[in-house]
Amino acid sequence: MHRVILRDDDTNALTPVECLEQLYRPFLHRGLPVNLAVIPNVRTDTHGANGALEKFLFAKRADTPLELPIASNTGLVRYLRENPQFRVVQHGYDHSLFEFGSDQRDDLANRLDQGTALLAAAGCRAPRTFVAPYDRFSRVSVSEVAKRFRVISAGWFELRRLPFAWWPQYAMKKMLKRPHWQVGRTTLLTHPGCLLSFQRPYPTMLKTVKKQVESQELTVLVTHWWEYFREGKPDTAMLAILHATAEWLASSSHVRVISFDDLARGPCLPVCPTTVTTC
């Protein structure tokens, strides 16, 4: 059996409900969980590493406040409550550039705790999974995250940005060429890049997804809702690929779609190097 976790990044107080509905109704209709990495208190002036305003802010207006907690979008909050197949995970605090790349422990702890509190204020259950904006951690931040969350989902982990005590587990993961690993009670997941992206070739996108899913036991499929609505306009071809992905996932007897919460509640990953970690 191949397991899949679908992760969609960058939902925030400016995300139009219509975008999520158009994207994920085929998944929800089939009972497939969709994990939304939600920004608790989005900075509306966030620029990426390329200097451009982040594209998940395309709904920003001239009078939009500098910060917007997720609860300020009451329509979005109500929509998420009405559709429990959406599973909320914590995506940083405000998504400012490399906000979890610092070594300021007090600031990092505050961002984590305040972010969780803001999600709770919006009616979300305490998240068990954390996603760092831009996949950037520091040695201090990743250890603070591990204290609070059962699952950390990232594109990759760098040895120089990990606590020294984690190095043996990391070395074992690299030696065994395994994408996922365990430190204490925290599972650390990596993903194969954003396979569902407008930067990928459309004709082969679904084929690539299938090949990846069938190549390992657990795959985290990452996408970004705003990529399907660049500048607010729907990309119908890309939407069709996503919906075809939903159909394939639901109809494949050898594939099971799970949530991060399912993983957090369950036993250790079978790929976990149990000889070097306590799960």
8-state DSSP, 126 = P
Alpha-carbon gap, residue 213 to 227, rounded angstroms: 22
Residue 134, judged by CB atoms within 10 A of its CB (0-12, 13-18, 19+), counts as: middle
In the predicted model, what is the mean pLDDT of the chain?
94
pLDDT higher than threshold 90 for residue 279: no
- In the chain, the domains with their CATH numbers are 2-265 (3.20.20.370)
Identify the pLDDT of residue 267.
54
Strands 151-154 and 186-190: parallel
8 A C-beta contact, residue 15 and residue 23: no
Coil vs helix vs strand at 75? helix
CA neighbor of 258 nearest in space, from 225, 205, 218, 207: 218
pTM summary value:
0.94
Mean pLDDT of 100-116: 97
> What distance separates the 2 farthest-apart alpha carbons in the chain?
56
User: Which stretch of DSSP H or E encloses residue 120?
Assistant: helix 105-121
pLDDT of 48 reads: 93
The pLDDT value recorded for residue 265 is 83
CA dihedral defined by 132, 135, 140, 142, rounded to 10 degrees?
70
pLDDT at position 200, please? 98
